[in-house]
Amino acid sequence: MADQKSISAIFLSFFFLLLFKSSHGGDIAIYWGQNGDEGSLAETCDTSNYKIVNIAFLSSFGGGQMPAVNLAGHCDPSFYGGCTFLSPQISKCQEQGIKVLLSIGGEAGYYMLDSEDDAKQVAGYLWDSFLGGQSDSRPLGNAVLDGIDFNIQNGGNLYWDVLAKALKEYSDEIVLAASPQCSYPDDHLNSAIKTGLFDYVWVQFYNNPSCQYSDDDFKETLLSSWEQWLKIDANSIFLGLPASPSIGGYIPPKNFIAEVLPSVQTSSNFGGVMLWDRYYDLKNEYSESIKPSLDNNNNMMSKTL
């Protein structure tokens, strides 16, 4: 007959197994590049708060136009030296185990895909200029980024699936992410997300009153939409949140930890939280407030296993 200690150990193991089946730790992804006062990319990674950094944005591309990177107050690729100084910072982030992606699109950019051939040409440009290809002109220097984030908020809804497929044809190692609006399905990225090629989908639960957090009844808005997004074919789904109370959909950290996180982290494909953006997070320390709660389950699982 098993002694009392053995029975207790078995009981505890069973308890933790149930716990891990019902809740999951998560990572934090951040957007960087749209405010010169947010600090450097290296400083962003040195916080150890983020597992993924989206450099935002490649704001002009497609339709035969010259692609253009817009990194606000950080640098201008068109000037001498441009943004190539970011190359060692990108490499440093990657050495810390942080994935660095180029985000294409954005709210204010001018971009489109005119045809399948246009999408394939854009894929070739991204591969040669930012990923594993070669080009005499690499706007961010010689560092090889981990992948591409589709932050498509205009530019129509055609051929984004072709772009995703074309990128994966260059290499299966390319990380693909998508940042749809929380209204399901997304007007621009629905066909692309349906390809099942995206490693990360961080859904923007902000500036979208119909599906963002509200004090009145977030279960009918945010959680209802979240349940719909869980049905897509993606490795990890992130809850996209603003790090500033000035943006619609802001969830005070204590409310996020007490009300929202216990519900969303029960999903097996819950990846964590995406924050907009580093500038606001630096000011309000949002990631500092929520990271311990996201880490708790990760730490408990690693210790038990």
Q: Quick one: which of 217, 216, 236, 239 has its CA closest to 226?
A: 239
Going 89 to 92 to 94 to 98, the CA torsion angle's sign is: negative
For the entire predicted model, the pTM comes to: 0.90
Longest dimension (CA), the chain: 78
Question: In this structure, are residues 124 and 163 in contact, taking their beta carbons and an 8 Å threshold?
Answer: no
What is the C-alpha to C-alpha distance for residues 82 and 67, in angstroms, rounded to an integer? 14
pLDDT band (50, 70, 90) for residue 296: confident
Sketch out the chain's domains with CATH numbers. 24-304 (3.20.20.80)
- Residue 301 clears pLDDT 90, i.e. is over it: no
Token readout for 225 is 């939409």
Look at 165 and 10; give whichever has higher pLDDT: 165
How many Å apart are CA 218 and CA 257, to the nearest integer?
A: 14
- Alpha helices, DSSP H, located in 23-159: 41-46, 86-95, 116-130
Condensed to tens digits (0 to 9), the pLDDT of residues 209-236 reads: 999 998 878 899 999 999 999 999 999 9
CA atoms of 129 and 143, how far apart (whole Å):
10
Of 60, 62, 31, 46, residue with least CA distance to 139:
60
Contacts for 265 with CB less than 8 Å, ≥ 6 apart: 23, 24, 25, 26, 297
